[in-house]
């Protein structure tokens, strides 16, 4: 199994592609565990700076059993009062975590695999990759724990349809690391923090203490860290943009390298919050919807100055003009 996830000569991006191209979600999670262990033991290197761009699949491999439909076609999940409702809630969470594994690996492969707009280590230091490996490791563990819980209720992943909203957002932001961080790893992750307490309550009120405790004690606190990673690296890119010279990243000594589009875009916004507003309005459809989990968002370094201006149509329009 380790040979499938990692072979001599592999770097972190080639390993990421193995996860993305693995259709079996359980093997996807297991590959993630193996790669993270090897990374932590310093047995997997980063790709060499300046290498050729990596070809990343538009969509990760998925098992044939998992049928993807539009959100309108999904059966109602209910409020957890029946077994069928709790199964539907668990199945949705399993699917989200499976997608989240791929999102963490995709950001590593797509933007760290020889992408000239994000040179290593001038713009993407080792800590960037370590952060998203930790996200991938957490999401893989969440997937496995939730799948086990779903199986204990008598259902398997793929027994009911799921929707592909997270990956549609990923495709929308495939060209831009700042957009990916703003939409997937800040906005969507933060929305998960908003709804998790209610979901926990539905399981607990429905008599499913095991699922409630799993969400509350394991998944909820770790998801705060995932939102924090998106915020942290968007801050980093905004600062990096303002340090970028006309001839390339500070410290590279490269001549004749024009500033990438994301750098020019960041320089149009004096603050990272204003840049976030512009990115969300450009790549996320509709205003952000309250109520917000202000305490969890604050722990992620995601204060109200980031999201409240986008919470109404009027606020969104104002933020767009910043």
pLDDT tens-digit map of 78-87: 676 689 999 9
Which residues, in sequence order, are CB contacts of 198 under 8 Å at separation 6+? none
**What pLDDT is attached to residue 318?**
43
**Torsion angle defined by CA atoms of residues 144, 174, 191 and 282, in that order, rounded to the nearest 10 degrees:** -170
**Domains contained in the chain, number:** 1
Residue 185, domain member (yes or no) = yes
Phi and psi torsions of 174, nearest 5°: -65, -20
108 pLDDT tier (thresholds 50, 70, 90)? very high
CA atoms of 174 and 277, how far apart (whole Å): 18
Residue 163 structure tokens:
């929707």
How many CB atoms neighbour CB 184 within 10 A? 26
Residue 31, domain member (yes or no) = no
Residue 222, domain member (yes or no) = yes
Residue 65, domain member (yes or no) = no
pTM score, two decimals? 0.92
Residue 242, domain member (yes or no) = yes
Q: Which of 23-37, 61-75, 162-176, 272-286 has the lowest mean pLDDT?
A: 61-75
Residue 21 has pLDDT above 50, yes or no: yes
**What pLDDT is attached to residue 319?**
42
Residue 254, domain member (yes or no) = yes
Residue pair 320/277 in contact (Cβ under 8 Å)? The answer is yes
Residue 140, domain member (yes or no) = yes
The boundaries of the domain holding residue 281 are: 82-320
Residue 251, domain member (yes or no) = yes
**What pLDDT is attached to residue 1?**
53
pLDDT tens-digit map of 253-301: 454 456 899 999 999 999 999 999 999 999 998 789 899 999 999 999 9
């Amino acid at each position: 199994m380790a040979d499938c996830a990692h072979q001599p000569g592999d770097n972190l991006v080639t390993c990421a592609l193995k996860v993305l191209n693995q259709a079996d979600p359980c093997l996807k999670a297991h590959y993630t565990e193996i790669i993270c262990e090897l990374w932590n033991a310093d047995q997997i290197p980063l790709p060499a700076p300046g290498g050729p761009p990596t070809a990343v699949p538009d969509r990760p491999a998925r098992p044939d059993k998992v049928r993807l439909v539009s959100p309108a076609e999904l059966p109602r999940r209910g409020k957890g009062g029946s077994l069928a409702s709790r199964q539907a809630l668990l199945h949705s969470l399993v699917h989200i975590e499976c997608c989240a594994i791929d999102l963490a690996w995709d950001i590593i492969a797509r933007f760290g695999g020889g992408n000239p707009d994000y040179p290593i280590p001038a713009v993407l230091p080792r800590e960037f990759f370590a952060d998203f490996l930790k996200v991938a490791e957490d999401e893989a563990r969440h997937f496995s724990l939730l799948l086990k819980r779903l199986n204990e209720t008598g259902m398997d992943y793929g027994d009911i349809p799921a929707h592909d909203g997270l990956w549609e957002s990923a495709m929308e932001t495939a060209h831009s690391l700042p957009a990916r961080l703003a939409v997937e790893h800040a906005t969507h992750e933060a929305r998960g923090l908003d709804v998790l307490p209610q979901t926990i309550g539905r399981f607990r009120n429905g008599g499913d203490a095991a699922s409630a405790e799993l969400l509350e004690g394991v998944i909820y606190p770790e998801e705060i860290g995932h939102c924090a990673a998106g915020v942290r690296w968007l801050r980093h890119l905004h600062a990096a943009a303002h340090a970028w010279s006309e001839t390339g990243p500070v410290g590279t000594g490269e001549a004749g390298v024009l500033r990438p589009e994301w750098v020019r875009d960041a320089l149009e916004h004096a603050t990272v919050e204003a840049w976030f507003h512009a990115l969300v309005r450009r790549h996320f459809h509709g205003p952000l919807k309250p109520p917000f989990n202000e305490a969890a968002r604050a722990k992620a370094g995601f204060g109200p100055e980031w999201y409240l201006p986008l919470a109404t149509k009027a606020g969104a329009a104002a933020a767009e003009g910043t």
